[in-house]
Structure 1
């Protein structure tokens, strides 16, 4: 079940129920608010109902015992493709982008008759990660879509997509979750969590259920507090940023490092709202620089320790402007 996104679910469900489903949907919004979960939910429902029988459950739910739902859960539904950045088997790191070869591989899906029903579905998570040639290859498919196909493009920053791709999609807006929904999600994810700890996680998560899970599971709270200390008080000796760099540059810290990169831009943006004058201007500049660096670092496989140290410098400039 997806909480806090009723409007988006209702829009898609109404289109599918009326059998007026657009062939491509841009599922747009901040990270961690349920976009990928929605894409899986929607694709499962379409493929299940297309195979029959009709399903009466609300909010696009499909009974877990339904044969199509079982195939999707197992990753073996022959009429569904999920495109995402692939892992390098040698290094264990994710590729910088979704490649053009991955997009072209969809030709196999659309070049044959569907196996289980008349419908096929493609989920791209995230469309922001498409390399330029892959985006162009996808555009050709969206311009001349096969019959009974469903494209679900998850996008954290839809403005980065080709305008021609955006124009061929119906947009579903996913919003940041309010505190009540966040509290419910954290309580479900962490049964028995103390109310004080739950409220602290909700306050730091900024309306992102994904970030809340990371804060709880990856112990990100100390990292966020350290980053905030640099942003608010500066780091004249470089000691604070050096400690962060050592912590996130060590072996086994890859998940915490990736989560930290996602956390930093929203942390700066949240802090900027409460500032004024020159400090607010510096915070907005830091937001742009941090967003650019945290987006490039995984794609260019930049050294984690060096990247974190550089982020620390960006944060420190908010409190201590350059002379």
Structure 2
């Protein structure tokens, strides 16, 4: 059973043990908290057999494909690769053709879509037909980070399993079991920025953000009247961070602001909330814009400095 997800596990087991298992399930919750892991384990137990989910003839997984031939070659070589933005209608229709045949090993098959939020509109419309008239023995597990992005008609045909973010204590327990190699500072930074997501925490640990967190916390606590702390933050971020590192850094700043938002006066809340909203904007822009790391460090540092305690505040 996944740590912190006892309730959705209980609901699923009760449904499996009933006379009639519903054909479509929406696994809803923040990114990186274990929904896909749950879907794979649930699917394997449902269809039986010893093969891994990626090789099982009765488990079909739909996710974003490599974005081009170069990235497809990387995937074939077992290297990290860049994916397309969406799951295409061709992938859904290919899956539907397989549903016209009987399951291979038993009387059930499982279709996992990760993430269903990333389907093209035409792919969603195509999937809806299968959800409206599901083939006998076919069960759909839709992983969703943002259910509001799904068609209402898809949501209405699914039973929902809600996966909540883990508490800090639960997250530390999960990471301890993973035996991660991280300094205490890097571990604290990962937990701070992960918002209860083990997957994101592991990603942040790999990015070694301990010094970045220390620099941010220093600015938020003491301001930065001489811009020295912002220079330290830029140095911790590095000269040529990739998009993944930049996104993680903005997420970390946002989490620090959120954690400190309730502390202090109404003026403190207002300045921190404004800085938080600006970090939300940066997070959305980083996905598509090319940011200079030095300028981004200055912008984040200035937001934190403006959100510092009133006696320490230094406005950019």
Instruction: Please give the range of the TM-score, normalised by the shorter of the 2 chains.
Output: 0.7 to 0.9
What is the Cα deviation at residue 254 of structure 1?
5.3
Question: Is 1:222 aligned to 2:211, yes or no?
Answer: yes
What is the Cα deviation at residue 170 of structure 1?
1.0
Question: Is 1:138 aligned to 2:138, yes or no?
Answer: no
Contact 1:122-1:150 at 8 Å conserved across structures: yes
What is the Cα deviation at residue 121 of structure 1?
1.1
Contact 2:215-2:232 at 8 Å conserved across structures: no
What is the Cα deviation at residue 47 of structure 1?
0.9
Structure 1, unpaired ranges of 5+: 49-67
Partner of 1:167: 156
Contact 1:80-1:121 at 8 Å conserved across structures: yes
1:142 aligned counterpart, secondary structure: helix
What is the Cα deviation at residue 38 of structure 1?
0.7
Larger-gyration structure (1/2): 2
* 2:136 aligns with one of 147, 151, 156: 147
What TM-score comes out, normalization by structure 1 length? 0.75
Could you report, residue by residue, the CA deviation over 1:181-218 in whole angstroms, capped at 9, with x for unpaired residues? 22321221117978898677545544222233234333
2:259 aligned counterpart, secondary structure: helix
Residues 294 and 97 from structure 1, CA distance in 2 versus in 1: closer, same or farther, beyond 3 angstroms?
farther
Bigger CA drift: 240-249 or 90-99?
A: 240-249
Partner of 1:213: 202
What TM-score comes out, normalization by structure 2 length? 0.76
Partner of 1:47: 47
Residues 23 and 130 from structure 1, CA distance in 2 versus in 1: closer, same or farther, beyond 3 angstroms?
same
Partner of 1:13: 13
Distance 1:239 1:199 in 2: 20
* 1:120 aligns with one of 109, 123, 142: 109
What is the Cα deviation at residue 229 of structure 1?
5.0
Distance 2:42 2:271 in 1: 42
What is the Cα deviation at residue 81 of structure 1?
1.6
Distance 2:40 2:227 in 1: 48
5 Å-filtered alignment, 1:64-75, equals 68-72=49-53, 75=54
Residues 192 and 106 from structure 1, CA distance in 2 versus in 1: closer, same or farther, beyond 3 angstroms?
closer
1:70 aligned counterpart, secondary structure: coil
Partner of 1:303: 290
Could you report, residue by residue, the CA deviation over 1:47-78 in whole angstroms, capped at 9, with x for unpaired residues? 11xxxxxxxxxxxxxxxxxxx23232xx2112
What is the Cα deviation at residue 9 of structure 1?
0.2
Partner of 2:86: 97
Contact 1:248-1:254 at 8 Å conserved across structures: no
Distance 1:98 1:311 in 2: 34
Contact 1:248-1:304 at 8 Å conserved across structures: no
Residues 244 and 255 from structure 1, CA distance in 2 versus in 1: closer, same or farther, beyond 3 angstroms?
same
What is the Cα deviation at residue 292 of structure 1?
5.3
RMSD between aligned residues: 3.7
